[in-house]
Chains A and B, each alone.
Chain A
Amino acid sequence: MVNFLHDRQTLWLFGGILGVLLVATVVGQLLKLRRSNAVIDNLNARIRAWWVMSAVFALSLLTGGIGSVILFALLSFFALREFITLTPTRPADHGALFWVFFVITPLQYWLVAIQWYGLFAVLIPVYAFLFIPSRIAVSGDPERFLERSAKIQWGLMVCVYCVSHAPALLMLRIPRFEGKNARLLLFLVVVVQMSDVLQYVWGKLLGRHKIAPVISPSKTWEGFLGGVATATLLGAALWWATPFSRAQAAAMAFIITIMGFLGGLTMSAIKRDSGVKDYGSMIEGHGGVLDRIDSLCFAGPIFFHLTRYFFT
């Protein structure tokens, strides 16, 4: 692994994140001086949490690959814990849940760490998906069997399998980009999270027409279109840090943004079905871990596979 302190492009990306955070903090404080209400307090809480999240993410990248793998493994663990808490499992599922949390999840990230792509790609959708219903069946409780199996499978899919594709970017072998894969991870995370932020900002400024008011009252067409357009431009503007050309970077950013939007919407639908507003309360102003990474869950695997197919 390269020492990123010597990688100028990575430093530029870090500098850019720092600049955005500084601007956001100043704007947040100015808004607070002018007028204090719940929306602005929540905005400032979110910005404070962004400082912490950015610092943790940057530190994990500085340790080389292993720090990122551990960070995303922990995110998966906490997200899965939030997801399973909302899922009405029964005592007979206990054995299956033990395997999901303490065997399958660590194993998936161990495969990322040792860069064993073949098993990484099939461990959960093949082995775990057959194992979970079998283990529940062995426990002998048939009530709502298919529902319980499917919900645990889906939790594992979204929280672990999908999320693990972000650090898995570090295992791709891209010609003339060796040792620089951390920038791909940075590109994905920056674009997907900035797309969330920009959709939020455009929605707050111009939002009128709701897309799916029952599922997500805060998602509007204005926010969506504005966010997609600006996040795509942002991605194109970061092309120099990636193995992509300008147009390719724009296309990748566009797909990341769309997938991120669909991830947020889908995970909101699950929340509405369970009758909760947020998955948890771990991150101040944002809700739970899963509320923050829902867009990454959907964007990560698609970005990984597009990059793998076209660039390796």
Chain B
Amino acid sequence: MRRAIAAGVVGLARILAGGSVRCLGCEFDSRQRIYFANHTSHLDFVLVWSALPRSLRALTRPVAAKDYWDRAGLRRYLVANVFNAVLVERVAQTLLSVPAQTGVPVPHRKDPIEILLEGLGERHSLIIFPEGTRGNGVQLGPFRSGLYRLGKARPDVELVPVYIDNLNRVLPKGEFVPVPMLASVSFGAPMRVEIGEEKDPFLERARSAILELRRW
């Protein structure tokens, strides 16, 4: 049943967004990876996940916005049973809260990086969107530090840049129903946080790796 639904999801993704997958310097492999992609639509991770070979889909957990996906009904069922997604609060909502009595900021939620590292575990891969928020599909926004922190915490995990093209037109921001459009997913060459590499140069390097894929 679960497999049939997963196949249905993949089929639907192909009908809505086409099945164009390009590997530019990356071979599919079951070793642990973090796929990081540009973010333009709530369907982004569905498309990246569908682009992977079936054997890798079972090992790859998308990271999804809790407020959008953790809702009763189909979405919750899909993230829990089909995608095995890791749900996180959106970064904007994990601000520190400042209780009026003390004036000292206290974090009132678990650090999302902890949740991601737990989700990664010993055998899974992750799909993340380092911009943190959906862009307009034209510009690639600045990256948040999460990718760098994950790369530092787990130097054994390969970081794979992914560029999603045209999916923002399938389901633009603020729309509920998708329309069909040919999108494509490009996988680039795996990278790592080099020894001694600082946060900003690394994030810039990661960002340009995605921009590089856009040129193809």
Interface segment among B55-63, B96-104, B174-182: the answer is: B174-182
Neighbouring B residues of A281 by C-beta, 8 Å: 20
Measured between beta carbons, the chain B residues less than 8 angstroms from A91 are 172-175
- Report the separation of the CA atoms of residues A267 and B166 in the bound assembly, to the nearest whole angstrom: 22
Within 8 A of B (CB), among A73-112: 77, 80-82, 84-85, 89, 91, 94, 97-98, 101-102
The complex places the Cα of A227 from the Cα of B175 at a distance, in Å, of 48
Give B169's nearest chain A residue, CB to CB: A89
**Is B18 an interface residue, CB under 8 A from the partner?**
yes
Complex CA gap A84/B180 in Å reads 9
> Which B residues lie within 8 Å of A85 (CB)?
18, 166, 169, 181-182
- A263 in the interface, Cβ–Cβ < 8 Å? no
* Complexed CA–CA distance, A281 and B184 (Å): 12
Asked if A94 and B175 make an inter-chain contact with CB atoms under 8 angstroms apart, the answer reads: yes
Q: How far is the CB of B23 from chain A (nearest CB, A)?
A: 15
Do residues B179 and A94 form an inter-chain contact, with CB atoms below 8 A? Answer: yes
Give chain A's interface residue range (CB within 8 Å of chain B). Answer: 10 to 19
Q: Are B182 and A82 in contact (CB under 8 A)?
A: yes
Residues of B within 8 A of A300 (CB): none
Q: Is A301 an interface residue (CB 8 A)?
A: no
Which residues does chain A contribute within 8 Å of B174, judged by CB atoms?
A: 91
Residue of B nearest to A82 (CB): B182
Q: How far is the CA of A207 from the CA of B63 in the complex (A)?
A: 56
CB of A98 within 8 A of CB of B179, answer yes
CB within 8 Å for A94 and B172 given contacts A81-B18, A85-B166, A281-B20 = yes
Count B interface residues, CB 8 Å: 13
Residues on A with C-beta less than 8 A from B179 are 84, 94, 97-98, 101-102
> Looking at chain B's contact residues, is the secondary structure mostly helix, strand, loop, or mixed?
loop
Q: For residue A263, give the distance in angstroms from its CB to the closest CB of chain B.
A: 21
Residues on the A chain within 8 Å of B20, using CB: 281
Residues in A1-45 with C-beta less than 8 Å from chain B: none
Is the Cβ of A101 less than 8 Å from the Cβ of B175? no
What's the least CB distance linking A184 to chain B, in Å?
30
Contacts between chains A and B (CB distance < 8 A), count:
33
Chain B residue contacts of A80, Cβ below 8 A? 180
CA distance A281 to B174 in the complex (A): 30
Tell me if A280 counts as interface (CB < 8 A to partner B): yes
A89 to B168, CA, bound (A): 11
Is A98 within 8 A of B166, CB to CB?
A: no
User: Most chain-B CB neighbours within 10 Å: which of A80, A82, A91?
Assistant: A91
A-side contacts of B18, CB under 8 Å: 81, 85, 280
What 0/1 pattern do residues 18 to 57 of B give for CB contact below 8 A with A? 1010000000000000000000000000000000000000
CB-contacts of B157-216 with A (<8 A)? 166, 169, 172-175, 177, 179-182
- B172, A280: Cβ atoms closer than 8 Å: no
Q: A81 — which chain B residues lie within 8 A by C-beta?
A: 18, 180-182
- Neighbouring B residues of A280 by C-beta, 8 Å: 18, 182
Bound CA span A97–B16, Å: 13
Cα–Cα distance between A98 and B175 once the two chains are bound (Å): 11
Shortest Cβ distance from residue B64 to the other chain A in the assembled complex, whole angstroms: 22
Residues of A within 8 A of B175 (CB): 91, 94
A299 to B103, CA, bound (A): 76
Query: Which chain B positions have C-beta within 8 A of A94?
Result: 172, 175, 179
Question: In the complex, how many angstroms separate the beta carbon of B124 from the nearest chain A beta carbon?
Answer: 32
Residue of A82, A84, A89, A98 near B177 (CB, 8 A) is A98
Kindly provide the distance from the CB of A206 to the nearest chain B CB, expressed in whole angstroms: 36
A97 and B177 CA atoms in complex are apart in Å by 10
Partner of A84, one of B172, B173, B181: B181
| Measured CA separation A229–B173 after assembly (Å) | 53
CA distance A77 to B172 in the complex (A): 20
Q: How far is the CB of B164 from chain A (nearest CB, A)?
A: 14
1/0 per residue, CB under 8 A from B, across A253-296: the answer is: 00000000000000000000000000011000000000000000
Q: Which residues of B contact A77 (CB under 8 A)?
A: 180
Q: Which residues of A contact B (CB under 8 A)?
A: 77, 80-82, 84-85, 89, 91, 94, 97-98, 101-102, 280-281
For the complex with contacts A94-B175, A281-B20, 11 further pairs of A-B residues with Cβ separation under 8 Å are: A77-B180, A80-B180, A81-B182, A82-B182, A84-B180, A85-B18, A85-B169, A97-B179, A98-B179, A102-B179, A280-B182
10 contacts between A and B (CB under 8 A): A80-B180, A82-B182, A84-B179, A84-B180, A84-B181, A85-B18, A91-B173, A98-B177, A101-B180, A280-B18
Using a CB–CB cutoff of 8 Å, the interface residues on chain B facing chain A are: 18, 20, 166, 169, 172-175, 177, 179-182
Which 4 A-B pairs have CB atoms at the shortest separation, nearest pair first?
A: A85-B182, A91-B172, A97-B179, A81-B180
